Structure 1
Amino acid sequence: MRIGCLQFAPLVGDIDNNLNRADAVLNKVKPEDLDDLDLLVLPELAFTGYNFESLQQISPFLEPSGSGISSLWARTTALKYNTTVVVGYPEKVDPSPKWPTGPEYYNSAIVVNGDGETVGNYRKSFLYQIDETWALEGRDGFFQGYIPGLGHTALGICMDLNPYRFEAPWHAFEFAFHILEMEANLVIITMSWLTREDSRMFSRMPQEPDMETLTYWVQRLEPLIRNESDDEIIVVFCNRTGMEDDVVYAGTSAVIGIRSGEVNVYGLLGRGVKELLIVDTEDAPFAKMVYRPDGEGSEVGSQKAPHSQKPPGPSDGKSSKASEKPAKPSPRTSPEQSNNSPKDSTAEPKKKQRPIESNNTDSYRT
């Protein structure tokens, strides 16, 4: 499967320029690199920006279900490249004239196939505080469906990866168990996920992935690793980069494969790059993340691939190298956990990453 992750830096409410930013990333790619692309994924609220603090602030940018500017871009791009496109957008649902209620609003993602047809529209199930200022929880649970060309697909949005409202037990693993229950072979997670590192330190190394964040994402998929199935599950983490006010996004979009208790990394972007990551899951992975369940002690890191395997990075030929050091799990998620985090968010940036030898997973909760 050939998968593209479009990582870029949209700004709040800057719709036209955000569309141009996404197009500019695609236009930098050689046309032949986009041939036979099976899937193109964009971040959560890709063209509106994410950090809206009220319904009033986001109201001018709400889009009708499946027919707003984000859906139009998805449809146009899907037809252009004959591929399935996933884009996050703020959805407005107008009720029937006979229904005595006002409109409803959701943090959603639309799925459009290569024929320009809408084959999925998912509404975020787990909201954080900033989502709750304007959006409702999706009523239908996590997305599941069979998408021709992709297979049995699970779709989540950012906070869906976390314990519900940060109140559910860590080991509830709601989204991960959903993946197993529906027997998905493909998982798509569109995101606006923050780094926990200091913004000044973070911006100095834009080409380096935020391994702490990637480690956390993988930890939230622990049931898939423990399952040790011989059938590979491909997971697409499509995050954004850049800043909105004092909010700093983690980038680090990645495509991984989980099979037989192992986590293989097919492609990985840096924290600050604005590029299209393209990987082919038929190719050998360039790195492997080592995972030890907490009952045996925990250590999550990455190992170099053999020298013959070069890590696939941005599709312009540049590469993004995975860290060779174990990475501490991040207690952070999307902007959800920035200024209003229930725990102290002023931790000093780590100077050196160390193996984790604690069995207490509660320390990873926020």
Structure 2
Amino acid sequence: MTRAECADGNKATPSPPVVACVQLDSKHADIDANIATVRRLVDGLDSDQQGPRRQIDLLVLPELALTGYCFDSHDEIEPLLEAIPPSDEAGCESTAGPTLSLVSSLAKRFQCHVLAGFAERGPPIDPAQDTTSAAAAAAAAAAFDARSTGTRAHCPPNGTGHAYNSALLVNPCGQVVHTFRKHFLYDDDKRWATEGSGFQTVELPRIGRVCVAICMDLNPHDFRAPFEAYELASFCRRERVDLIVVPMAWLLPASDSSLFEQQRKDRGPSTSSIQYWALRCAPLFDPEAGAAQATADGAEAPPRPLTTDNTTFLVAANRTGTEGKSTFAGSSCVLRMRHGERPELLAALGVHDEAVLCAQLEET
């Protein structure tokens, strides 16, 4: 894997990058309570009993971390929508909403990049303007539309304005790097959100090329596209992505429902969820899946040749708990994937854990 150079132009240090995921039980529409939970959980990073705290390179919060996930309409979520001011606009800190305020403070505290899911108030989709600032436009690659051919972009009902299920990335100075918008919407999202214009990548110091996707983006588009299209993983393979980061509000599978109380006792993860997330990344490690997708892609955008030197990591940052009738799978994890090898689980939390997961992105 090719790592990006450090921001000061020096080569990255030999120590592997460290990614941390905050897994919490987000309370519905209770911003203050959820902020308090995040701050309580990350306090543990300053009191590592195994020694001095390791430097974190990327801290990740789940999908819609501060609002909760389940909303019946645009009207219900509208008071919680946040417009992200341009990072190059003077005085933007004074107009920052709760998500930007929180992630900026965490970024400065831990001197790392921070990514968090949030509900964004935004303008209509325009790929040429789908950024929060001129700096963001330069930082992120152009959006790649991976929706099924002939599919019309989903927009909310007329008159409600545009809102997005988004993920905000800030740098260690607390400045906005980019806002990623969920490309494939789940049924609950369609009640209020507009589809983002496509998958994108961004280069981060010490980590390399990163693709941020949000929950349903890992699935086939609308659950109608062929499973073997592997839209997200194929894009990441073609773009030579080093790290895929997926903030989630992933539901506990029905097959795990009978094990729910046992998982509470054992503190174990949802293995079926983790296995599925890995399966959706098949082109990044399975030669047969990669070859099939390369044929489907054609010669216009040739994928990278997979070799044993290629390593891609998946960070699944999920939430836990129950909201309304929805129970979430937790099980935030970090997977390492190599050509011709089974994905390796580097670290995982349980279904019910409210905790911070830390993992080194070691290639060997």
TM-score (norm 2): 0.73
Q: Is the 8 A contact 1:94 1:102 kept in 2?
A: no
**SS of match in other structure, 1:125:** coil
Q: Determine the structure 2 residue equivalent to 1:128.
A: 186
Residue of 95, 103, 109 corresponding to 1:74: 103
Residue of 220, 225, 229 corresponding to 1:163: 220
User: 1:102, CA displacement in angstroms?
Assistant: 6.9
Once the two structures are superposed, residues 204-247 of structure 1 have per-residue CA deviations (whole angstroms, 9 ceiling, x without a partner) of 32311100111111111111112443221111010000000221
Residue of 118, 125, 139 corresponding to 2:176: 118
Separation of aligned partners in 2, 1:28 and 1:146: 28
Tell me, yes or no, if structure 1 residue 35 matches structure 2 residue 92.
Answer: no
Separation of aligned partners in 2, 1:128 and 1:280: 31
Q: Determine the structure 2 residue equivalent to 1:249.
A: 328
User: 1:191, CA displacement in angstroms?
Assistant: 0.3
Residues 47 and 203 (structure 1), Cα distance of their counterparts in 2 relative to 1, 3 Å cut: farther
**SS of match in other structure, 1:18:** helix
- Identity in percent: 35
Q: Is the 8 A contact 2:118 2:166 kept in 1?
A: yes
Q: Is the 8 A contact 2:57 2:112 kept in 1?
A: yes
Q: Determine the structure 2 residue equivalent to 1:83.
A: 112
Once the two structures are superposed, residues 282-340 of structure 1 have per-residue CA deviations (whole angstroms, 9 ceiling, x without a partner) of 386xxxxxxxxxxxxxxxxxxxxxxxxxxxxxxxxxxxxxxxxxxxxxxxxxxxxxxxx
Question: In the comparison of the two structures, how many residue pairs are matched?
Answer: 278
Separation of aligned partners in 1, 2:363 and 2:282: 24
Tell me, yes or no, if structure 1 residue 107 matches structure 2 residue 165.
Answer: yes
Once the two structures are superposed, residues 69-96 of structure 1 have per-residue CA deviations (whole angstroms, 9 ceiling, x without a partner) of 111111110011001100000000157x
Separation of aligned partners in 2, 1:61 and 1:39: 25
Which amino acid letter does the alignment assign opposite residue 109 of structure 2?
A: K
Q: Is the 8 A contact 2:311 2:363 kept in 1?
A: no
Separation of aligned partners in 2, 1:13 and 1:281: 34
Q: Is the 8 A contact 1:199 1:248 kept in 2?
A: no
Which amino acid letter does the alignment assign opposite residue 351 of structure 2?
A: R
Residue of 247, 260, 264 corresponding to 2:344: 264
Residue of 35, 40, 55 corresponding to 1:24: 40
Tell me, yes or no, if structure 1 residue 137 matches structure 2 residue 195.
Answer: yes
Q: Is the 8 A contact 1:111 1:120 kept in 2?
A: yes
Residue of 260, 279, 285 corresponding to 1:225: 285
Which amino acid letter does the alignment assign opposite residue 19 of structure 2?
A: I
Residues 65 and 103 (structure 1), Cα distance of their counterparts in 2 relative to 1, 3 Å cut: farther
Separation of aligned partners in 1, 2:259 and 2:325: 14
User: 1:28, CA displacement in angstroms?
Assistant: 2.8
Which amino acid letter does the alignment assign opposite residue 82 of structure 1?
A: Q
Residue of 270, 282, 287 corresponding to 1:210: 270
Residues 34 and 63 (structure 1), Cα distance of their counterparts in 2 relative to 1, 3 Å cut: farther
Tell me, yes or no, if structure 1 residue 47 matches structure 2 residue 63.
Answer: no
Once the two structures are superposed, residues 8-46 of structure 1 have per-residue CA deviations (whole angstroms, 9 ceiling, x without a partner) of 101110110011111111113344564310111110000
Residue of 60, 67, 74 corresponding to 2:79: 60
TM-score (norm 1): 0.72
Runs of 4+ in 1 over 3 A off after TM superposition: 29-35, 197-201
Separation of aligned partners in 1, 2:42 and 2:202: 28
Higher helix share: 2
**SS of match in other structure, 2:335:** strand
Report which structure shows greater RCO (CA 8 Å, sep ≥6): 2
**SS of match in other structure, 2:344:** strand
Larger mean Cα displacement after TM superposition, 119-128 or 142-151: 142-151
Tell me, yes or no, if structure 1 residue 196 matches structure 2 residue 253.
Answer: yes
Separation of aligned partners in 2, 1:165 and 1:117: 34
**SS of match in other structure, 1:28:** helix
**SS of match in other structure, 1:136:** coil
Residues 162 and 74 (structure 1), Cα distance of their counterparts in 2 relative to 1, 3 Å cut: same
**SS of match in other structure, 1:189:** strand
Tell me, yes or no, if structure 1 residue 282 matches structure 2 residue 301.
Answer: no
User: 1:150, CA displacement in angstroms?
Assistant: 2.2
Q: Is the 8 A contact 2:107 2:174 kept in 1?
A: yes
Separation of aligned partners in 2, 1:279 and 1:146: 20
Residues 211 and 200 (structure 1), Cα distance of their counterparts in 2 relative to 1, 3 Å cut: closer
Structure 1: any 5+ residue segments left out of the alignment?
96-100, 285-366
Separation of aligned partners in 1, 2:177 and 2:217: 21
